Amino acid sequence: MIFILLPAFNEEESIERLFIKLDDFFKKDFNTDYRILICDDGSTDKTLSEIKKLESKYPVDILIHKINRGLGETMRDLIERAVEMADDNDVIVRMDCDVSHEPIFIKGMIDKLLEGYDVVIASRFVEGGGTVGLNKYRTLISLMAQRFMRFFFRVKGLKEYSSGYRAYTGKVLKHAVRVYGNNFIQLKGLGFTGTLEKVVKLKLINARFAEAPLVLRYDQKLSSSKMVASITTLGYLILVILYYWPFGGWKRSYKKLEKINE
């Protein structure tokens, strides 16, 4: 079984289009069972009503936040629901709702998982990857962020740290939730920081990482960006402090964590 995790905030124009793409991919190209877990994070448009219209047509479970809680809390709730439902050998894929992530790239990530990796990130920086429609400013900011992350949190096998398009084994996420509990995503109120935090926390339990190609289709994005650069930048700096802090920082305090592969 493949579980698709979708955090949704004000995506009324994208939801049906994404569901159609996912269903076509799994039925025609991949031929496997899948289930969508989607969390409406207090949308102020018609996102939730659009999801409910599609509930009878597609295999979907809906989580609802009555008020907007942010990406961190939304992903925490989706991951907790997924690990309750998934077996160790199932695959859990996290995507964006804005149609910038094409389902076709799921296959490359799953192929890597089948090679024995625990986490596979869809990457713009490997052969076959790239970006369409991203302006020069955002491209520069993205490249600077990748260098920052690689400098402070180098992970074997990774060039792409900020992509939210990822595939995990059920086993590694179950293990992470068991080890960290509610602190798997600790920096919930700091924008997109949790996207990097999950990499760091999985690194600390010796998860094995790989990348698969992604062509990010920013030209297909139908909604505005939800990222506030200043908040996310602050979050990255706090993440560095928490990781390296000499008196009880993550690097020291989590040093003796149980390893996923033992």
- Answer yes or no: CATH 3.90.550.10 is held by domain 2-253: yes
Per-residue pLDDT at 226: 63
Please compute, for residue 104, the number of CA atoms within 13 A of its CA located in the half-sphere on the CB side.
9
Domain boundaries, the chain: 2-253
Q: At 67, is the pLDDT very low, low, confident or very high (cuts 50, 70, 90)?
A: very high
Please compute, for residue 70, the number of CA atoms within 13 A of its CA located in the half-sphere on the CB side.
17
Task: Please name the residue that has the structure tokens 């389902």.
Answer: 103
Say yes or no to pLDDT of 157 above 60: yes
Q: What φ, ψ does residue 132 adopt, rounded to 5°? A: -125, 125
Is residue 78 within 8 Å of 8, Cβ to Cβ? no
Please compute, for residue 197, the number of CA atoms within 13 A of its CA located in the half-sphere on the CB side.
29
Task: Give the residue among 138, 2, 127, 120 at the shortest CA–CA distance from 59.
Answer: 2
Q: What φ, ψ does residue 57 adopt, rounded to 5°? A: -100, -30
Per-residue pLDDT at 120: 97
Say yes or no to pLDDT of 175 above 80: yes
CA 229, distance to chain mean position in Å, is: 18
Say yes or no to pLDDT of 188 above 90: no
Task: Please name the residue that has the structure tokens 């706090």.
Answer: 238
Per-residue pLDDT at 172: 97
Please, is 131 exposed, middle or buried when counting C-beta atoms within 10 Å of its C-beta (0-12, 13-18, 19+)? middle
The listed range with the strongest mean pLDDT (62-76, 129-143, 227-241) is 62-76
CA distances from residue 126 to 20, 91, 245 in whole angstroms, order as listed: 28, 22, 33
Amino acid identity, residue 34?
Answer: Y
Say yes or no to pLDDT of 197 above 90: yes
Per-residue pLDDT at 255: 64
Q: At 193, is the pLDDT very low, low, confident or very high (cuts 50, 70, 90)?
A: confident
Q: Which alpha helices (H) appear in the chain, and where do they start and end?
A: 15-24, 47-54, 71-85, 106-114, 136-152, 170-180, 193-204, 229-244, 250-253
pLDDT in tens, 16-66: 999 999 999 999 888 889 999 999 999 999 999 999 999 999 999 999 999
Mean pLDDT on 144-173: 90
pLDDT in tens, 132-148: 877 776 677 677 778 88
Mean pLDDT on 78-93: 97
The proportion of the chain whose per-residue pLDDT surpasses 70, expressed as a percent, equals 93
Instruction: Enumerate residues 6+ apart whose C-beta is below 8 A from 181.
Output: none
Q: What is the pTM of this model?
A: 0.92
Say yes or no to pLDDT of 209 above 60: yes
> What 8-state DSSP symbol labels residue 164?
-
- SS3 state at 130: strand
pLDDT in tens, 92-103: 999 999 999 999
CA distances from residue 2 to 8, 13, 110, 167 in whole angstroms, order as listed: 19, 25, 10, 10
Per-residue pLDDT at 223: 67
Is residue 131 within 8 Å of 123, Cβ to Cβ? no
Task: Please name the residue that has the structure tokens 């076959």.
Answer: 128
More confident residue, 259 or 93: 93
Q: Tell me what the pLDDT averaged over the chain comes to.
A: 90
Per-residue pLDDT at 63: 98
**DSSP letters for 204-241:** HTT--EEEEE-EEEGGG--S-----HHHHHHHHHHHHH
